[in-house]
A and B are shown apart, each in its own frame.
Chain A
Amino acid sequence: MESVGSIIIYVIVALAMVVFSVLAVTTRKILRAATYLLFTLFAAAAIYFMLDYEFLGAVQIAVYAGGIVVLFVFSILLTSKPGDNSEKLTSKSRLLGLVASVAMLGVAGWALLARCANFTARPEMQSPDMNEIGRTMMGTGVGQYLLPFEAVSVLLLACIIGGVVIARKR
Chain B
Amino acid sequence: MEITAIYYLIPSLIMFCCGVYGFITRKNMIAMLISLELMLNAVDVNFVVFNRFLFPGQMEGMFFTLFAIAIAAAETALAIAIIINIFRATKNVDVRGLNEMKF
Interface residues of A (CB under 8 A from B): 1-2, 6-7, 10, 14, 17-18, 21-22, 24-25, 30, 33-34, 37, 40-41, 44, 47-48, 51-53, 55-56, 59-60, 63-64, 67-68, 71-72, 75-76, 78-80, 86-87, 89, 93-94, 96-98, 100-102, 104-105, 108-109, 112-113, 116-117, 119-126, 128, 132-133, 136-137, 143, 145, 148, 152, 155-156, 159, 162-163, 166-167
Contact = CB atoms under 8 A, between A and B. Distances in A.
Contacts of B83: 75, 79
A109 B83 CA distance: 34
Nearest to A73: B30
B48 A18 contact: no
B9 A24 contact: no
Contacts of B63: 136-137, 145, 148
Given A100-B21, A119-B4, 5 more contacts: A24-B34, A104-B20, A117-B6, A152-B67, A156-B74
Nearest to A17: B11
B93 A51 contact: no
8 contacts: A24-B34, A41-B37, A63-B70, A72-B30, A97-B21, A108-B13, A120-B4, A148-B67
Contacts of B48: 47-48, 51, 53, 56
Given A10-B7, A97-B20, A105 B13 contact: yes
A100 B66 contact: no
A56 B65 contact: yes
Interface string B66-101: 110111111111101111110100000100000000
A141 B10 CA distance: 35
Contacts of B11: 14, 17-18
Nearest to A164: B81
Contact of A30 (B2, B9, B30): B30
Interface residues of B, number: 70
A7 B1 contact: yes
A75 B84 contact: yes
